[in-house]
Amino acid sequence: MSMNRKHSKKKHSFSHSAGILWLFGLIFLLMCPFGCKFILLGKKNTTSSVDNAFTITIDASNFEDYEPFINLENLNCMKAVMEKQAKIAKVVTKMEVIEGCMYPRLIRVTPLSKFDYPLLTNAFTEAGKFVIKGTEKGEALTGTHLQEVTMIQRKINGSFQEEPAIKLEFKLEAVPLLRKMSEINLGKKLHIELDNQELISSHIQEVIKNRFLVLSLGLSTSQSAIQSTQDLYALIKGAMFCSRADITITNLH
């Protein structure tokens, strides 16, 4: 009887110890994802490209402009403007749009080649200077005068074919200036510039009396023409939103 009781006591003690070990093992397994993550983060070595990364923060300059910035396409157009600036500065970069919790408004920039940080970041904060000026000197229209930029299809003269084009719609208060510029430059050209580089020029054949100016690259209906027009559209639309935004740079060192 005493031997059975002793054996039962040892069995109970072993079972109790195994239960405690099992409980600690379960706790360890539950904590492992957090623990492992912590250890990995602690040992992480940042690369030079991550060290050099920074973000372009884009905020609507007033409440009326808040709604358009929710549109991811608009931010991608602004990114196209920033990419052009990087090429002008001869810096190879990787850019990606980061969607914020309220609306997308960040562009992460990772330079992949040597660059001057103050010079490059200043180029981004000053990006999007959009100007329309005539061959004849006078006043100029800017991105702040634009109301909307859209891609359209228009018929090619003397043909049933259509070609891609870009329609610029100006704010009502800019119409007198647009009309005046078209009158002065009748038979000549209006030059569209972005950050002091000409994007396209438009031949003025008649006085513009409404709010619209249509731009065409005149490259027929080929796929390359469509792509070129889309690229131009992105730059002009991006410039329009740059003119409405407060753009700042945050260094991620």
Q: 79 or 67: which carries more pLDDT confidence? A: 79
Q: Which of 64-78, 84-98, 100-114 has the highest mean pLDDT?
A: 84-98
Give the pLDDT score at 46: 31
Which residue in the block uniquely carries the two structure tokens 């208060």? 173
> Are residues 86 and 11 both part of a single domain?
no
Mean pLDDT of 115-143: 90
Contact 165, 229 (CB under 8 A): yes
Q: Are residues 140 and 228 in the same domain?
A: yes
User: Domain of 197: which CATH number?
Assistant: 3.30.1360.200
> CB neighbours of 173 closer than 8 A, spacing ≥ 6?
145
Please state, for a pLDDT cut of 70, what percent of the chain lies above it: 69
Nearest to 103 by CA among 148, 147, 128, 73: 73
Lowest-pLDDT choice from 6-10, 90-94, 201-205: 6-10
Are 71 and 123 in a shared domain?
A: yes
Say how far apart CA 86 and CA 105 lie, in whole Å: 19
The packing angle between helices 72-88 and 223-242, to 10°, is: 100
Q: For residue 78, give its domain range.
A: 48-127+245-251
Between 83-97, 191-205, 217-231, 238-252, the lowest mean confidence (pLDDT) is in 217-231
Range 138-150 average pLDDT: 91
Strands (E), the chain: 54-60, 93-99, 104-111, 130-134, 141-142, 146-155, 162-170, 189-194, 197-203, 212-215, 245-251
Q: Which residue's structure tokens are 């054996």? A: 7
3-state secondary structure of 194: strand
Share of the chain above pLDDT 90, in %: 38
Q: Is the pLDDT of residue 76 over 80?
A: yes
pLDDT above 60 for 4: no
Question: Where is average pLDDT lowest: 92-96, 190-194, 248-252?
Answer: 248-252
Higher pLDDT, 177 or 63: 177
Are residues 8 and 112 located together in one domain of the fold?
no
Same domain, 166 and 194: yes
Report field, pTM of the whole predicted structure over 0.85: no
The structural domain count of the chain equals: 3
Q: How many CB atoms lie within 10 A of CB 225?
A: 16
